Amino acid sequence: MARHSSASQTEAGQSSDSAEQTGASVDNGPDRIDAINQLFAEFELAYHNQYYKAYGTEERLVLAKKYWLSCLSQYSPMQIVAAARQVVKTNDFLPTVSVVIRTCEEGVSLFGLPRAREAYYEACRAHAPKAQFPWTHEAIYFAGKATDWYILATEPEDKVLPLFTYYYDELCQRVMRGEKLELPQRQALPERSGTPLSPEENQARMQKLREQMGL
């Protein structure tokens, strides 16, 4: 199956403004046609005899790829590729469409993303500075930031978890569409320069500050 020339990396992605707000960059990975081709290449290598029994002619192979493309159209290319790699590791027989769909639905684990509740607990116990905490995934940091760290620390779970989950699920979808989230970099403190003031100069400066403040 040839690549579709009109396929766009932004069809399921976020705007550049949204990416900038979370320090995200978009990974220009495969389009959906590429992903289907890669899925079938994985199947061919992993299930050689079964593969040629199922798709032994060029006509059957082309029809199969078109069918799989239509069935997996709601998933991003990154999800399809990751799911294909996962199913060949866990299935002894040539997978069906439903097996790949289930794997796509469970896709957060394929991208190193913990479940929402686990991510919530991690966000709640993260110490400051938050950007330097060893996060399991950057999406947890940005979900915590969007929820508000103070609310996470002070409000009960039954009120905060749904809000956190909303932001976290949105971020997970963006990650599975190919975005890379980058934590803000800690700026180095400027080097101290100049000669320390003498006791007399310090005293004069303090006196001047008192006069300015009317003390």
Last residue in a domain, options 105, 131, 163: 105
Q: How confident is the model at residue 181 (pLDDT cuts 50, 70, 90)?
A: very high
- The answer as to whether 68 is a domain residue is yes
Same domain membership, residue 89 and residue 36? yes
pLDDT of residue 75: 84
Same domain membership, residue 92 and residue 34? yes
Using alpha carbons only, how large is the chain's radius of gyration in Å? 26
Q: Are 97 and 72 in contact (CB under 8 A)?
A: yes
Q: How confident is the model at residue 107 (pLDDT cuts 50, 70, 90)?
A: low
Q: Is the pLDDT of residue 185 over 90?
A: no
Structural domain span for residue 63: 16-105
Same domain membership, residue 138 and residue 100? no
Residue-wise pLDDT for 39-62, tens only, equals: 999 999 999 999 999 999 999 999
- Separation of alpha carbons 66 and 123, rounded Å: 42
Place of tokens 């400051």: 128
pLDDT of residue 195: 64
Q: How confident is the model at residue 99 (pLDDT cuts 50, 70, 90)?
A: very high
Q: Is the pLDDT of residue 212 over 80?
A: no
- The answer as to whether 141 is a domain residue is yes
Most confident of 13-22, 164-173, 203-212: 164-173
Q: Are 178 and 28 in contact (CB under 8 A)?
A: yes
- The answer as to whether 56 is a domain residue is yes
Q: What residue spans of the chain are helical by DSSP H?
A: 16-21, 32-46, 48-54, 58-71, 77-90, 97-105, 116-125, 138-147, 149-154, 157-176, 199-213
Same domain membership, residue 23 and residue 86? yes
DSSP 182: -
Residue-wise pLDDT for 127-146, tens only, equals: 999 999 999 999 999 999 99
Q: Is the pLDDT of residue 23 over 80?
A: no
Same domain membership, residue 22 and residue 86? yes
- The answer as to whether 206 is a domain residue is no
Same domain membership, residue 92 and residue 57? yes
pLDDT: which is higher, 120 or 112: 120
- The answer as to whether 120 is a domain residue is yes
For the chain, give the percent of residues with pLDDT over 90: 55
- The answer as to whether 11 is a domain residue is no
pLDDT of residue 1: 65
Taking alpha carbons only, the member of 179, 126, 165 closest to residue 149 is 126
Residues 6+ apart with CB under 8 A from 11: none
- The answer as to whether 43 is a domain residue is yes
Same domain membership, residue 82 and residue 31? yes
Residue-wise pLDDT for 62-72, tens only, equals: 999 999 999 99
- The answer as to whether 128 is a domain residue is yes
pLDDT: which is higher, 19 or 104: 104
Last residue in a domain, options 63, 84, 105: 105
Q: How confident is the model at residue 192 (pLDDT cuts 50, 70, 90)?
A: low
Q: Are 135 and 141 in contact (CB under 8 A)?
A: yes
- Separation of alpha carbons 60 and 214, rounded Å: 90
- DSSP-assigned beta bridge partners for residue 180: 25
pLDDT of residue 193: 47
Taking alpha carbons only, the member of 121, 135, 150 closest to residue 184 is 135
Q: Which helix (H) or strand (E) holds 180?
A: strand 179-181
Phi, psi (5° rounding) for residue 137?
A: -150, 145
Predicted model pTM? 0.55
Same domain membership, residue 88 and residue 147? no
pLDDT of residue 16: 40
- The count of domains in the chain is 2
